[in-house]
Amino acid sequence: MAKVLRAVAFAASLTPSFSYYLVANCVPGSIVASLNQTQGRVGLYTKALQTILPSTYGDLKLLAKGTNCMSAASAVNSNSIILGGVLDNYKMENVGLFEALTLANVTEDYLYVFETKGFTSMQSIADCVPGDVVASLNQTSGMIVLYTKALQQILPGIFGDLKFLGVAPNASACSSIQNMINTGKSDNATYLAQLKNGTLGLQEVALWDGLKKGNGNFTYMYVFDNVMWNKTTEWWV
């Protein structure tokens, strides 16, 4: 059990802080109307929200109203709906420019949908695992390639198909590349090509070698498709 928990700990130590592309807030019209600093105007309340949470609320993407406001906000914040589906699915009404300049209706609920500030989309996700951790997992007989399955079972909502399995001479060399991938600072196609041809300093683990037991002198890098990435719309789901 201790070995399994240790494996979980390494998987959970991934560096990125996961957030979604959009973030929403449903505000009762009575609250919008009562804010003196914005003169109670619907559109100006946008600035109030951005001031309250400047590190979260980016550009406004949608301003709408309707009785299903809370449900719509929940759907956006749980990433279960795309922006274009909010109005129809939750019977919301878009607030146009003219209405946005008027005093809020106290009987309405207003939905403010923002782009998440500083959002970074990551098509792939990487995890560096010390060789002794790989070797110690009894459920996989310590085999390098079978540890892939262990990671996918630990975090099934994040780790998709394996894209690359490599070996690094030490943890530092592996971590620097892991951070580059997990912070979205490198183009997906570019770094995958660089990983496979060895220019980033990691050696790809061949199929035959993957069936061997992990070596405690090395660190292994597992690069997966990010399950939260939608290839069609380039939007997290």
**What pLDDT score does 5 carry?**
39
**What pLDDT score does 158 carry?**
82
Is 234 domain-assigned? no
Same domain, 128 and 178: yes
Is 237 domain-assigned? no
At residue 124, φ and ψ (nearest 5 deg) are: -125, 165
Domain range for residue 132? 124-226
Q: What residue ranges in the chain does DSSP mark as E strands? A: 22-28, 57-65, 93-94, 109-116, 124-130, 159-168, 203-204, 219-226, 229-230, 235-236
CA–CA dist 65, 78 (Å, integer): 19
DSSP annotation of 139: G
Is 9 domain-assigned? no
CA–CA dist 237, 229 (Å, integer): 6
Mean pLDDT of 47-76: 94
Same domain, 215 and 189: yes
**pLDDT tens track for 141-180:** 999 999 999 999 888 878 889 999 999 988 988 998 888 8
Q: Is the pLDDT of residue 17 over 50?
A: no
**pLDDT tens track for 222-234:** 999 887 775 544 5
Mean pLDDT of 91-116: 96
**What pLDDT score does 206 carry?**
92
Same domain, 111 and 169: no
Q: How confident is the model at residue 92 (pLDDT cuts 50, 70, 90)?
A: very high
Mean pLDDT of 180-192: 73
Total domains in the chain come to 2
Q: Is the pLDDT of residue 196 over 50?
A: yes
Same domain, 51 and 88: yes
Single residue among 116, 150, 177 that ends a domain in this structure:
116
Coil, strand or helix: which one is 72? helix
Is 137 domain-assigned? yes
Same domain, 146 and 63: no
Is 165 domain-assigned? yes
Same domain, 61 and 134: no
